[in-house]
Amino acid sequence: MRGYRDSDYHVYAARPTVEELRGKGFSATVLGGGRLLHSPTNNVLRIWGRSHSFGREDKTVTVAVCQERWPNYNITWSNDGY
């Protein structure tokens, strides 16, 4: 899971990590994408949408990763939106 404010598209956000992993001999496949609103001040994560390039990721996996990293956050998700 990666997010960069200066990456307008998922493909640009994924590229550095995919290239790094492949350069180390790993295979790397992007499983989908969506949007993420992170508000550390309020301990809130909002996950929604899909990627035009990669489609929709499995939000249950994304939420599980986020809950492990931020156990005290209020995390909501939806498949709605782009």
Residue of 28, 27, 19, 81 whose CA lies nearest to 52 = 81
Q: Which two tokens stand for residue 14?
A: 């994924």
Burial of 72 (0-12, 13-18, 19+ CB in 10 A): exposed
| pLDDT score for 23 | 96
> CA separation (Å) from 44 to 33, 37, 66?
19, 8, 11
Q: Model confidence over 42-74: pLDDT tens digits?
A: 999 999 999 998 999 999 999 999 999 999 999
- 9 pLDDT higher than 90: no
Q: Which amino acid is at 3?
A: G
Q: What is the DSSP string of 10-49?
A: HHHHHHHHHHHHHHTT-------B-EEEEETTTTEEEEE-
| pLDDT score for 81 | 83
Q: What is the mean pLDDT of the chain?
A: 92
Domains for the chain: give ranges and CATH numbers.
10-77 (3.50.20.20)
